[in-house]
Amino acid sequence: METIADRLRRLRLERKMSQAKLAQAARVSQGTIGNIESGVRGYGESIVDIAAALGVTPEYLRLKNDTPAITTTGQWDGNVVDAPTPPLMREYPLISYVHAGEFAECIDTFPPGEADSYHLSPKDLGPRGYLLRVEGDSMTDPTGAISFPNGMMLHVHPDIEAVPGNFVIAKRVQENQATFKQLVMVDGELYLHAINPNWPTKYIKLAEGDAIIGRIKFAGWDL
């Protein structure tokens, strides 16, 4: 029978995360992760952050629920969760960080063959697809079904239409600034929504000249 320690270790290894990497994502010490996996201690208050970093519910980590509710650490497209191990992987450029808070400076997509590094994606992102990393906490929701912690990699398709409910990269064209948010409709108008329940600016209204420059097709840690 799987123990709490076994479950944490299994989830971490399935996501190809070291103890140090999981600790960084969950903002706890590596010793905390090691002690839980060895059975020396329980989760305590850290369970919410560890669950968010792994993309499962706290109840699943506590063995109180057999449904992991895998979110953004598994294969993900819109609001659909698929099998965590895709049969086909493609390579795309990692071009820059996107600041998941207020609008931040945006670096346009690299021309083909020009990028600092390339990473695999289980999704077809189109000929101009690219990857970005989340920076900031506005899209982290420790208690929600979907969360995008700091450092998570976003797999972006720039050439498909986004509709309310999708997670997107939006660009304020005149200022060459961009942000990562959820596109929502409020009273017939489009807004960018920060899913962190404690974020001070939860909604940013799309202004004239703003553009959706990419829809998130997958989000997770390095593949």
What CATH number does residue 9 fall under? 1.10.260.40
Residue-number span of the structural domain to which 56 is assigned? 4-69
Determine what percent of the chain is predicted with pLDDT higher than 90. Answer: 13
Paired residues of 157 in beta bridges: 215
* Residue 127 pLDDT class (50, 70, 90 cuts): confident
What CATH number does residue 84 fall under? 2.10.109.10
Cβ neighbours of residue 167 closer than 8 Å, sequence gap 6 or more: 139, 148, 180, 181, 182, 183, 215, 216, 219
pLDDT at 191: 93
Residues 62 and 43: beta-carbon distance below 8 Å: yes
Whether residues 61 and 93 fall in one domain: no
Whether residues 170 and 113 fall in one domain: yes
Q: Which of the listed residues 69, 102, 120 is the one where a domain comes to its end?
A: 69
d(CA 159, CA 109): 12
pLDDT at 115: 56
Question: What is the average pLDDT score of the chain?
Answer: 77
User: pLDDT tens digit string along 153-210?
Assistant: 899 898 889 999 999 999 876 777 788 999 998 888 899 999 999 999 899 898 888 8
Burial of 121 (0-12, 13-18, 19+ CB in 10 A): buried
Residues 217 and 125: beta-carbon distance below 8 Å: yes
For residue 74, tell me if it sits in a domain.
Answer: no
Split into its structural domains, the chain has a count of 2
pLDDT at 178: 81
Whether residues 14 and 91 fall in one domain: no
pLDDT at 73: 39
Distances (CA, A) of 173 to 3, 103, 108, 136: 51, 11, 11, 22
Burial of 115 (0-12, 13-18, 19+ CB in 10 A): middle
| Phi, psi at 90, each rounded to 5° | -125, 160
Whether residues 118 and 203 fall in one domain: yes
Most confident of 54-58, 135-139, 218-222: 135-139
User: pLDDT tens digit string along 18-62?
Assistant: 899 888 888 888 888 999 998 888 888 788 788 877 877 777 888
Q: Is the pTM of this model over 0.85?
A: no
Whether residues 58 and 84 fall in one domain: no
